[in-house]
């Protein structure tokens, strides 16, 4: 009984840390939310949270992770970026993960802008492409937060009903 309480507390902590991690770059937010929900389901012997719910939560997690990685690239593509800029936005997003909040904020922008410069565009055009990548990242973060709260709603719905 005491072990179950500790596991539920750990589950809640993972979910809360994961929610914070949807915004904070140092934490894998949505996967932590899923891990907390999976731990809670396991602790409860999958009585309230069944496999169908867990599969749905897993799919939502996979979508959120994918959105996180491709959003900056799509933003750059939207403003007509070159292939070099798209590649740069992807690399900038991944490299930015290692530099905290400044890296996440600037990574897609810098990567896309440098890629566009390498492709032969001028500084003005490269800046526009970088802004497009940054806006893609911003909208991706908003989508990731929405998916995270959707997961929370599915989880609570499964617990209550």
C-alpha closest to that of 129 among 109, 148, 144 = 109
Rg value, the chain, Cα: 19
pLDDT: is 81 or 41 the higher one? 41
Q: In this predicted structure, what is the pLDDT of residue 47?
A: 92
68 and 143 in contact (C-beta within 8 Å)? no
The region of weakest confidence among 47-51, 58-62, 74-78, 150-154 is 74-78
Q: What is the mean predicted confidence (pLDDT) over 104-119?
A: 91
pLDDT per position as a tens digit, 69-79: 787 677 777 88
Residue 25: what pLDDT?
63
pLDDT at 158: 95
Q: Model-level pTM?
A: 0.79
pLDDT of residue 26: 64
Question: Mean pLDDT score of the chain, rounded to an integer?
Answer: 90
């Amino acid at each position: 009984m005491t072990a179950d309480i500790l596991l539920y507390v750990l589950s809640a902590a993972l979910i809360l840390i994961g929610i914070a991690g949807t915004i904070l770059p140092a934490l894998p937010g949505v996967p932590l939310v899923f891990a907390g929900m999976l731990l809670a389901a396991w602790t409860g012997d999958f009585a309230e949270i069944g496999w169908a719910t867990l599969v749905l939560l897993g799919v939502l997690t996979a979508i959120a992770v994918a959105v996180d990685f491709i959003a900056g690239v799509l933003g750059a593509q939207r403003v007509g970026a070159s292939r070099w800029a798209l590649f740069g936005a992807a690399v900038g997003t991944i490299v930015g993960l290692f530099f905290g909040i400044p890296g996440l904020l600037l990574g897609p922008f810098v990567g896309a802008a440098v890629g566009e410069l390498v492709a032969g565009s001028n500084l003005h055009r490269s800046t526009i492409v970088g802004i497009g990548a940054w806006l893609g990242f911003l909208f991706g973060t908003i989508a990731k937060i929405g998916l995270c709260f959707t997961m929370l709603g599915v989880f609570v719905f499964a617990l209550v009903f």
